[in-house]
Structure 1
């Protein structure tokens, strides 16, 4: 039988992270000024967006004859896209994401969760449906969805590296994968290929600690994974630096190529950099056609 006191203590520890996380995500979202039409684009709807020159593929009934009469060219009214998208987020909760090289830097997991929640806030404000991959939180509208998302994201995974979860992805929707992508690349390749086959576009955001980018080690060094399952000791860490940097560059190139071939976007964000730029890039990436 489960100990009620232990269960309550675990729940309180988990819940204690939610107010700071939600506050940080809300503050981050407020720093990005998108205007009333931050993801404005042409599509099915009734709201006028802009005039554009008519093309040979446009029907005659689409031409705005009043506007066209004022020039030598024919013009068509573009309407603003008003069909809500479904956006599913996968945030790596593996142990490797709990790494921070300094007490002055946030964990990669904190940055990833804050970025994901801030993006969800902006998307929901724009009328989109947002949720998590898997079966626990399908895409929905409404601010209540943010609180449920924060609760689920507070849980950690016991494995060093967690593979992307593609369950619950809807055809022709959008998705976001946020991770350090330092584990086995095969599950990532499988997930993106499966998504592309279903007409799902999206964005990959790689979160790295500055130490992981620079490899500032020399002399005797013990490298150990966050769970302690992986361990390597060397007397000449400096000799490993170039090999490590080459492999990291190769991993980024692989992710860039994978994103390009599947119609996704890819970017790397460092935990010592302002998250505003990453949030704006992510938000705008989701507006790209699939």
Structure 2
């Protein structure tokens, strides 16, 4: 008998729970994650495993910084206008002068074209503080591409966050990296935001982090971007999103998905092994499960979107075989359009 194909994925929920569902044991309490081939080595979740992952991540960060800045350079930065009158440099509109309007505010060139006095208004440009959170859990440190054609989900999440930080800072926004204890202290100096943030991320990879941040570590009305696969417990995620909404902290969720988690492109006898001591399962003729698997994956995505929409937040899904530049454009537009004051 041929040896098992060993499939490498992430936490054991997405595939294991889907396969239980295909056997008539569907679970609505968890979004789950994937199975992965471990092949020995440090036990996932231990200090040795975390240290090794941190070292590998640190080695890739310089390249990610360069790539992130290149992507940010392809997306129009500009100021994030607030579409209301206020202090700023961008022209918004002319409006008729009101009784008692200071003479110094009247635009005499525009007023000379009519029989009325007009005031030139600029668009308010309020610097916002945008907090960035990256899921560094083991399920994110995975790619379905054995040849390296696709990045790890964690690398793509970091790439997009670093590019977003660069884009926002160029546009006059304030950007902070968030940890479980609160905003991270970036290395001092006037260096590029992507480089300083990457250095801070490398120190976070060697210790466990929550799936999503607690609302209490954020100021009221802050803006938040969470990048992750959101494959944890549904009840826990719903609880966290509701607390963020109640603070209120408008949140943009950036879901990172490997295309194999969507398509189940495997065939034959496949061995699925959990990365966080969840066990393993061997399945014959995996391709026969693909139609039902696709249905369950779609249902899972619909539940996630309904959960996010119901909490008043927004969700953007990015597959790692897609262009990061296009996702960055959509992400920056969504972040700029979030309501909330600057802190």
TM-score strictly above 0.5 = yes
**Structure 2 partner of 1:5:** none
Q: How does 1:1-290 map to 2 (within 5 A)?
A: 15-34=58-77, 36-37=78-79, 39-43=80-84, 44-51=86-93, 78-102=121-145, 103-134=148-179, 135=182, 137=184, 143=191, 145-154=193-202, 155-156=204-205, 163-166=211-214, 167-290=216-339
Q: Secondary structure in 1 aligned to 2:321?
A: coil
Q: Secondary structure in 1 aligned to 2:217?
A: coil
1:42–1:79 contact (8 Å) kept in structure 2: no
Which whole-Å CA distance do the structure 1 matches of 2:332 and 2:114 have between them? Answer: 37
1:95–1:157 contact (8 Å) kept in structure 2: no
TM-score (norm 1): 0.80
2:82–2:126 contact (8 Å) kept in structure 1: no
Q: Which has the bigger relative contact order, CA under 8 A and spacing at least 6?
A: 2
TM-score (norm 2): 0.69
Which whole-Å CA distance do the structure 2 matches of 1:10 and 1:111 have between them? Answer: 15
1:94–1:158 contact (8 Å) kept in structure 2: no
Which whole-Å CA distance do the structure 1 matches of 2:258 and 2:234 have between them? Answer: 19
Which whole-Å CA distance do the structure 2 matches of 1:73 and 1:157 have between them? Answer: 66
Q: Secondary structure in 2 aligned to 1:287?
A: helix
Q: Which is further off, 62-71 or 273-282?
A: 62-71
Task: Compute the RMSD of aligned alpha carbons.
Answer: 3.4
Which whole-Å CA distance do the structure 1 matches of 2:189 and 2:213 have between them? Answer: 21
**Structure 1 partner of 2:45:** none
Q: Which is further off, 129-138 or 176-185?
A: 129-138
* CA-to-aligned-CA distance 1:259-279 (integer Å, 9 cap, x gap): 323332212111111100100
Q: Which is further off, 73-82 or 203-212?
A: 73-82
Offset of 1:75 from its aligned partner? 7.6
Q: Secondary structure in 2 aligned to 1:229?
A: coil
Unaligned runs of 5+ in 1: 1-7
Offset of 1:76 from its aligned partner? 7.1
* CA-to-aligned-CA distance 1:213-255 (integer Å, 9 cap, x gap): 1112333211123345342222242343334322321222123
**Structure 2 partner of 1:3:** none
Q: Secondary structure in 1 aligned to 2:232?
A: coil
* CA-to-aligned-CA distance 1:167-197 (integer Å, 9 cap, x gap): 5322112111111122222232222211111
Unaligned runs of 5+ in 2: 1-50
Q: Secondary structure in 1 aligned to 2:337?
A: coil
